Amino acid sequence: MSGGFPARAATANTGGEARGARGRVRFARVLEEDPGLGEGLDAAQLAGAIGAARAAVIQLSPGEWQPETWPVSVRNGFGLLVLDGLLLRRVRLGHRFGVELLSTGDLLRPWQREDAVASVPRHLGWQVLEPCRLALLDIEFAQRTSSFPQIPAQLIARAISRSRHFAVNMAIVQQPKVETRLHMLLWHLADRWGTVGPDGVFVPVRLTQTVLAALVAAQRPTVSAALAALERDLRLTRTNRGWLLHGAPPGELQLVPEPQARPRQSS
């Protein structure tokens, strides 16, 4: 897969004066933003955990994101938790690249880079597709939440789930027809972030044809034709806010094990 993305620089508000932030301090109560991290806590524990699980927030604007030099307190923590937004991680080998789509609930560690000692040279990059808020789960966060081991257990589960979702993406791009790849990809995203409504399953992820082409390892003109075919067959509808999927998932997707998909909620 060859090609590229716009080179606009993403701006960041790091959300804490102790970390050299630009702008006013911003914090989030992580368990209120992401209740799933409190799974396994009883009511009494949850009340204490909500107060302890407080984190500074980075805000990213759309464009190229070049992560800064991270303080030791951040590098020694759990990582960055996506509270909302959409971003793309890119790995380029020569003139070709692979991509990974990340959104709400995903855990990142952009300072953890294996490319410096890799036998095969590679280049890593980040593209912010929609405004993002990332919670800094630093060493102080880890210390404050140490009385609630369910929280780090859920973070480990998120990291494992992310790797398994990526494996599903790899299986999807092995499908011979681009139309099938796109259909499968959108249903896979529906399992992660979709909601069920009267007209179908809504996927609140706005993706350009360039990004879709990268995700399914195809050329943009081929993706455009495949999307048109899916719309003609009434299998999907494009909206200003994302995608509306109609009917049942493609039969091929039933053969791909889905890793810990979150239950869809009725809208």
Domain that holds residue 130: 12-170
Q: Work out the number of other CB atoms within 10 angstroms of the CB of residue 37.
A: 25
- Can you tell me the distance from the alpha carbon of 194 to that of 254, in angstroms, rounded to the nearest whole number? 17
The total number of residues written for the chain in this structure: 267
Of 20, 12, 19, 36, give the one whose Cα is nearest residue 140. 19
User: Where a domain ends, among 139, 170, 201?
Assistant: 170
pLDDT at 19: 39
- Residue 157, both tokens: 């589960």
pLDDT at 118: 65
pLDDT above 90 for 127: yes
pLDDT at 166: 87
Per-residue pLDDT tens digits for 54-93: 999 999 999 999 887 889 999 999 999 999 999 999 888 7
Q: Which residue has the higher pLDDT, 200 or 253?
A: 200
Q: Are 182 and 118 found together in one domain?
A: no
131 within some domain: yes
pLDDT at 20: 36
User: Where a domain ends, among 143, 170, 197?
Assistant: 170
Q: Which residue has the higher pLDDT, 172 or 265?
A: 172
Positive or negative, the CA dihedral 69, 210, 116, 76 is positive
Q: Are 157 and 240 found together in one domain?
A: no
Provide the percentage of residues in the chain whose pLDDT is more than 70.
82
Q: Is there a contact between 113 and 126 (Cβ–Cβ < 8 Å)?
A: no
Q: Are 137 and 251 found together in one domain?
A: no
pLDDT at 17: 38
Q: Are 182 and 90 found together in one domain?
A: no
pLDDT at 260: 52
Q: Are 150 and 96 found together in one domain?
A: yes
pLDDT above 90 for 169: no
- Can you tell me the distance from the alpha carbon of 58 to that of 35, in angstroms, rounded to the nearest whole number? 19
134 within some domain: yes
195 within some domain: yes
β-pairing verdict for 265-266 and 195-197: parallel
Q: Are 82 and 200 found together in one domain?
A: no
β-bridge partners, 57: 135
- Can you tell me the distance from the alpha carbon of 90 to that of 19, in angstroms, rounded to the nearest whole number? 26
Q: What angle do CA 31, 35, 37 make, to 5 degrees?
A: 75
User: Where a domain ends, among 170, 199, 221?
Assistant: 170
Q: How confident is the model at residue 94 (pLDDT cuts 50, 70, 90)?
A: confident
Q: Are 160 and 203 found together in one domain?
A: no
Q: Are 146 and 164 found together in one domain?
A: yes
Q: Are 218 and 151 found together in one domain?
A: no
189 within some domain: yes
Q: For position 94, which CATH number holds? A: 2.60.120.10
For the chain, how many structural domains are there in total? 2
What residue ranges in the chain does DSSP mark as E strands? 12-13, 27-29, 54-60, 63-65, 79-93, 96-103, 107-108, 123-137, 195-197, 200-203, 236-238, 243-245, 265-266
Q: Are 31 and 121 found together in one domain?
A: yes
3 within some domain: no
Q: Is there a contact between 54 and 30 (Cβ–Cβ < 8 Å)?
A: yes
Q: Are 54 and 164 found together in one domain?
A: yes
Q: Are 186 and 65 found together in one domain?
A: no
